[in-house]
Amino acid sequence: MAAKGRIRVRLKSYDSRIIDSCCQQILDTAIRTGAKVVGPIPLPSKRSIFVVNKSPFIDKDAREHFQLKTHKRLIDILNPTDNTIESLIHLDLPAGVDVEIKM
């Protein structure tokens, strides 16, 4: 029941170091099982900025800015075998990484 085409893996995380280590684990697993890998392709990071008043009363000009960056990566696994799919399912990735897999 091997997929003919490809498996597309999208990763999202707030920490770029964690997402890079997850990409490396997925690459090592796919290469070890004999599949061809394209990526990791860095996708544009999304930046969310939040503005908060420092003081609740009269100092309207005193504000703090906080930002939250979402890093994204894309990995394509071409010609995956059954062993590749099984290995990806049982892969233990750290917390804080959102993984989307499309076949």
- Quickly state the pLDDT bin for 90 (edges 50, 70, 90): confident
Please name every residue paired with 99 in a beta bridge, in sequence order, or none if there are none.
Answer: 11
- Checking DSSP bridges between strand 36-53 and strand 63-78, what pairing results, if any? antiparallel
Q: What is the pTM of this model?
A: 0.76
Of the candidates 61, 26, 58, 60, the one whose C-alpha atom is nearest the C-alpha of residue 41 is 26
Chain-wide mean pLDDT for the chain? Answer: 87
Q: What is the pLDDT of residue 4?
A: 66
Mean pLDDT across 76-100: 87
Choose between 13 and 6: higher pLDDT.
Answer: 13
Residue range 20-29, pLDDT digits in tens: 999 999 999 9
Q: Per the CATH hierarchy, to which homologous superfamily does domain 9-55+62-102 belong?
A: Ribosomal protein S10 (3.30.70.600)
Helix, strand, coil % over all residues of the chain, rounded to 5: 25, 45, 30
